[in-house]
Chains A and B, each alone.
Chain A
Amino acid sequence: MKIRAQLHGDVADIKVLMFHPMETGLRKDPITGDVIPLHFIQRVVAAHNGKTVMDAQWSQAISKNPFVNFRIRGAKPGDKVTVSWVDNKGEKASIETTLN
């Protein structure tokens, strides 16, 4: 995962890139012809100093290597922003950044 945070006054602009295949379950392996199983991020949660500010539910129709941009109000230097995801197989990842 990658995260980039920029403070504009008291608004933190957060851009996140996740590394995930986001398989739709409709694609076939070009060599074997087997269907590649559904595999996608289902849940993304963003927290500002430990308090949830965004809670997202996703389908397989979010693009591969998902990108999301959101803005947190009432932010200041030193605040922590955490973004976590979990997919339909229970795999998960998390990233944290400190605003400056």
Chain B
Amino acid sequence: MRTQPTPEKSPRRKFLRDFAIGSAYLTAIAAGWLRPVYLLAAEWNKAAFDAKVLADTLKDIGAISVVDSDQIQLKAPEIAENGAIVPVEITSRVPGTQAIYIIADKNPQPLVAIFDIGAGLEPFISTRIKMGESSKVRVLVKAGDKFYVATQEVKVTIGGCGG
């Protein structure tokens, strides 16, 4: 009986087998079948985060028309001595709130954060942001295909982006 080299013993076979398996994985990743768990939802919105003027930011998050709303409560200081730490607290009473966007109009890139609000989460977020200079802080709430906004002017004594 002819002895066949086993796949483990033949470097060529091993290469071919590994190559096939590797290709299958790459194809699966490219096709989006296999994704790291933390990327299961939308991809990081590079276009929106890179946008340098507010109009582009709004376009890139899909906020074509935005309606002022008194259903969004935005708590931020009127004067922030240190632009590196500006506390921002948002409570949305907009029915069906799906996402909360924090924007600092005059930051080098205005979009600060996007919070997708799952079914089990209260439409409430509190965090701390950096502001390069005095500007409006703008909070957008997405509900269905509509966007709502609340703004507050924050005066920054010492900017918090460079330094």
Contact = CB atoms under 8 A, between A and B. Distances in A.
Interface size class of A (residues with CB under 8 A): 35 or more
B5 interface: no
A62 B41 contact: no
B25 interface: no
Interface string A40-68: 00110110100111111111111110111
B163 A27 contact: yes
Contacts of A71: 121-122, 124
A26 B161 contact: yes
A97 interface: no
Contacts of B160: 63
A59 B109 contact: yes
B85 A74 contact: no
Interface string A1-45: 000000000010000000000101011000000000000001101
Given A55-B41, A56-B113, A61-B112, A73 B120 contact: yes
Contact of A73 (B113, B121, B131, B162): B121
B33 interface: no
Nearest to A74: B120
Interface residues of B, number: 40
Interface string B89-126: 10000000000000010011101111111111110111
B44 A57 contact: yes
B130 A48 contact: no
A10 B42 CA distance: 29
B113 A62 contact: yes
Nearest to B109: A59
A45 B42 CA distance: 12
B56 to A, nearest CB: 14
B40 interface: yes
Nearest to A85: B38
B58 interface: no
Contacts of A48: 120
Interface of A: 11, 22, 24, 26-27, 42-43, 45-46, 48, 51-64, 66-74, 84, 86, 92
Interface of B: 38-42, 44-45, 49, 84-86, 89, 104, 107-109, 111-122, 124-131, 160-163
